[in-house]
Structure 1
Amino acid sequence: MDVFERLRIIGVVRAGMENIDVEAATKRGIAVVNAAGRNADAVSDFTIGMMLSEARNIARAHHSIMNGGWQLNFSNSATVPDMRNKTVGLFGFGYIGKLMAEKLAGFHVKLLVFDPYISEDVVEPFGGRLVDKETLFSESDFISIHARLTPESRHAVGKSEISLMKSTAYFINTARAGLVDYEALYEALEKHKIAGAALDVFEEEPLTENSAFRKLDNVTLTTHRAGATLDAALNSPRLVFERIQNLIRGKEITGLANPEILNNESFEEWRKKAKLYLNL
């Protein structure tokens, strides 16, 4: 920002803002636009796949066949569920959480949402119910994490939350490992206090060779692949350019990391000139 004296907009082709000093940009009259939502479809698709794979032992049955076996009995064989009428708890209700709600509707599930940053009217159109964290963990048959990792949300899911889960419940994390106390989660899985878990993210990646999670019989592990699709990759530049264009046009946009920039006189003066110059 110090080098590019005429810089007015920074476009970030990802959702995370960890590599941008947004506060410094705002002080300099620079807008920051990201590609939030770029992989929301990819992650929500993958997450539902993880739910089914873990609850129905899809990956484990495949592994058995590929290794010459024909496994029929699994740790959850006595309680393998249908999805219909089960309660799914979504921890976080942003881009991905809303897509989860839309896609899960076809499974005819009951939907609970915990998100301290939204109100009931945000959830109601999706047929869900906004609840506190304790209700989410105690009543859900599947709990799926879709929150951002911040200093305040680190280990937001800890031993006390996991201890509330049903013995037949499943825990899914395709968001960030830091949101969850993985030691507490491992203990619950190892002692079969919950039915299972599906994890795409870990505190240390690749997962260490001696990780205790590798020894469990009630967990599905994947290599941080939830957002990795061709479409998600193509969405990134498209969303950034669309949002930059809308910002210059003066339209309301999503993905603006510092909306207070719209009250900056210097930026507003530049925006009007850019709109005319670009014939937008």
Structure 2
Amino acid sequence: MSTIGKPLVLSAPDPRSLDLIFTDAARRELHARYDVLECEPSALAEQSDETLAAVRYIIGQPPITPETLAAMKSLRCIFNVESNLINNMPYETLFERGIHVVTTGAVFAGPVAELGLAMALNLARGIVDADVDFREGRELWGGDGNSTARLLTGSEIGIVGFGDLGKALNRLLSGFDATIRVFDPWLPPSILREHNVEPASLETVLSQSDTVFVVAAVTSDNTGFLDRKAFARMRRNAAFVLLSRAGVVDFDALMQAVRSGHIVAASDVFPDEPLAADHPVRKLPGFLRSAHRAGALDIAFKRMGDMVLEDMDLMDRGLPPMRSKRAERETVSRMRSKPVTNN
């Protein structure tokens, strides 16, 4: 129960913790300004009516039933610090009541974009394979080691999806003097042109790119939409870099496209995580693997806490949240990403 004069924050950010997303100084500020009640996500509905009525903010994405929400008469905002919007609460009622649902996922855009660029450069220049060959004494020197090498500079690049991650990736690619085409059916062409990229169809992005970056969220409209036919449209020896969620891809079809030698690929995400020890992608030549670590940096996690505190301060003063990204009523129920199990 909240102390008089001190708003109540309910913290249920599983699998993340307050220690993970707040610096020591920010954690002290949080407790100085708010009463903080920590509970397991499943225990939210077990709180007393008096406690629920006093909650001003939720940190996390616990399941919320319509009955529990009705008891939360002071609720102003749900801070989703997992960053995957899951269909586990009555969003329509939240919007009708003017309760904000926000995500701190923008903190991952820069780190993920950097690793994605590194993956693309590796696929173009064979850096990891050349290092392994060197360690094992079978290195090829000079031009002999560059038989399949190519440049990103001056190449044709496609991006599928243009949210925070797509924009961050585009900024990093701006120095490569490349032609960059983007497919994102949720954005008008004018917004894409403002970012100096060419709006394009999915067909064009796939068929006219030397490198394709996939940064689209999983929705009810696009699950598995990058399938066997999509990979067949890609240029031979093109690179495919998957950075958002594996659910947008038919993963078996992706592996087959790599296995056949048609394309090379890299991925930071997989259909099931952690991945089974005997999963065939582990030993697939031409496939660069990363264990969903692109955004999992401490500096990114700590930025979440800063965003939460800044937005709480704004709302305490009767202003809307500005640092976190607000969920939209037209799209939130269409999100289909799996919840994370490892930070």
TM-score (norm 1): 0.83
| 1:97 alignment partner, one of 138, 153, 166 | 166
Q: Is the 8 A contact 1:86 1:109 kept in 2?
A: yes
Which consecutive aligned stretches of 4+ in structure 1 deviate over 6 angstroms post-superposition? Answer: none
Aligned match of 1:113 in 168, 178, 182?
Answer: 182
Gaps of 5+ in 2: 1-63, 331-343
2:325 equivalent in structure 1? 255
- Identify the match of residue 18 of structure 1 among 71, 86, 92: 86
Give the aligned partner of residue 122 of structure 2. 53
Report what 1:221 is aligned to: 289
Give the counterpart letter for 2:244 in structure 1: A
What does 1:1-280 correspond to in 2, within 5 Å?
A: 2=68, 4-18=72-86, 20-21=88-89, 22-66=91-135, 68-72=136-140, 77-194=146-263, 196-247=264-315, 248-251=317-320, 253=322, 255-258=325-328
Which residue pairs with 1:278 in the alignment? none
Does structure 2 conserve the Cα–Cα contact (< 8 Å) formed by 1:38 and 1:235? yes
**Higher RCO (C-alpha under 8 Å, 6+ residues apart):** 1
For the residue of structure 2 that corresponds to 1:39, the secondary structure is helix
Q: What code does the residue aligned with 1:125 have?
A: E
Question: CA offsets, 1:91-141, max 9 Å, x none?
Answer: 000111011111101111110000001122112233210000000000000
Q: Which runs of no fewer than 5 residues in structure 1 stay unpaired?
A: 261-280
Question: Aligned equivalents of 1:40 and 1:14: distance in 2?
Answer: 14
Structure 1 residue 29: Cα displacement: 4.5
Over the residues paired in the alignment, what is the CA RMSD in angstroms? 2.3
**SS of residue paired to 1:171:** strand
Q: Is contact 2:112-2:295 (8 Å) kept?
A: yes
Asked if the contact 2:160/2:183 (under 8 Å) is kept, the reply is yes
Q: Contact between 2:243 and 2:269, CA under 8 Å: does it hold in 1?
A: yes
Q: What is the CA-CA distance between 1:150 and the residue it aligns to? A: 1.3
Task: Single out whichever of 136-145 and 119-128 deviates more from structure 2.
Answer: 119-128
CA distance in 1: counterparts of 2:147 and 2:284, whole angstroms: 18
Distance 1:97 1:118 in 2: 12
Higher mean C-alpha deviation, range 213-222 or range 162-171? 213-222
Q: Which deviations, in whole Å up to 9, do the C-alpha atoms of 1:204-261 show, x marking residues without a partner?
A: 122222222223221111111111112211111222232344455435735122579x
SS in 2 for 1:188: helix
TM-score (norm 2): 0.69
Asked if the contact 1:33/1:240 (under 8 Å) is kept, the reply is no
Query: Residue 264 of structure 1 corresponds to which residue in structure 2?
Result: none
Aligned residues, how many?
A: 256
**Structure 1 residue 32, shift from structure 2 partner:** 1.6
User: How far apart are residue 71 of structure 1 and its match?
Assistant: 3.3
Q: How many Å separate the matches in 1 of 2:319 and 2:249?
A: 40
Of all paired residues, the percent bearing the same amino acid is 29
Aligned partners of 1:178, 1:42: CA distance in 2, in Å? 21
Q: CA deviation at 1:82?
A: 1.1
Contact persistence 1:91–1:146 (CA under 8 A):
yes
Bigger Cα displacement from structure 2, 12-21 vs 240-249: 240-249
The alpha-carbon distance between structure 1 residues 258 and 109, as it changes in their structure 2 partners (threshold 3 A), is closer
CA distance in 1 between partners of 2:295 and 2:302 (Å): 12
